[in-house]
Structures are given as C-alpha cells and as structure tokens.
Homo-oligomer: A and B are copies of this chain.
C-alpha cells in the first residue's frame, strides 16, 4: 500500500468513528482536523470538500463491512449454511471492529432518511445492495432444498434486517443483556419458518 493511501485510510477510520458520534452530516473537514490534531488545510488537501469527505467516509465504512462480513461469509457453501454465516458475522461485526460500524449505518439511516441528496442516495444504494445480496443467498438455500420453495426471499432479507435493528436497539439503547441471545432466537425462528412447508 502506498504511503498516501495508508494515510488516507487512517483518516477515514477516524472519520467513521467521529461520524458514529456526531452523525454523518455533522462530519466536516474542520471537525475531523480538530479530532485528528492536524491542520485543516492538510485534511482539506485529501478531500477538497465536506461532501467528498462524507461520501468517502460512507464508502469506507461499506468497504470495511464487505471485508469483515461479506467476503468471509461467502466462503461458506451456498444454502442455509451461507445464510447462517452472513447473519453470524454481521452480528459479531461490532464486537471486533473498532469502527463501531454497525452503529454507523443505523445512525446514518435514521439521520439521512429525510435529507435528500447524493449522500442519502449512496446510503440507499449500499443498503439495497446488501438486502439484495441477502435475498440472493436465501434463494440459493431455496434452490438447494434447505428452505421451502414458498419462501419469499426478499421478505426473509427484510426480516433479517429487522432482527439486526432490534438487536442494535436492545443492546445499544436499552442495555439489554439478553440482546444477542434474543437476536439469535429471532433468527432461528426465521430459519424454522423457512424450512417448514407454508
């Protein structure tokens, strides 16, 4: 990795952390420079505008998610096993990722849902892509015979998302010690229903 690229990654990691706290729209070149203890002109040289900084930060968080969750899960064989791998790595992601990226996407979703613009469009594109990938993985499980042919793959993906959002809410806001156990129980119930004839 070139030195410039490495420096940029270091800045972007910090930008994701800061964005988790102040919101993606609250992320400015000045605020990031202050947080990094660097000159504003130095950070400006890397990103040129607040909009570019925000977009790059969102893309960087999505890349981290791809590397930490999607890429390893796709090594599991197609079928229920891969659906399980995706869920499990997704759930575990915040535990070992210092970016606190789970928080980042949930916060960005509720922050940007009423703010039209390129940043919101990018988030919608990323989240829709993730839901599509989940649905495709569910369809493989149907084709393989792990799930019942009547299973609605998009509905399953939507429900998996709900399980993650409820987990986030219970663990982050309510401090519910059973949050993870509940998320796993919800997911097992989804799998049971998908296996059963409807």
Contacts and interface: CB of A to CB of B under 8 A. Distances in A.
Interface of A: 20-21, 23, 103, 106-107, 109-114, 120, 123-124, 127-128, 131, 152, 154-155, 158-159, 161-163, 165-167, 169-170, 172-175, 178, 182, 185-186, 189, 192-193
A134 B67 CA distance: 38
B182 A189 contact: no
A123 B173 contact: yes
Contact of A155 (B20, B174, B186): B186
A189 B185 contact: no
B173 A166 contact: no
Contact of A182 (B155, B165, B185): B155
A158 B165 CA distance: 11
A131 B106 CA distance: 20
A128 B124 CA distance: 30
B103 A114 contact: yes
Contacts of A161: 166, 169-170
A182 B152 CA distance: 10
A133 B169 CA distance: 17
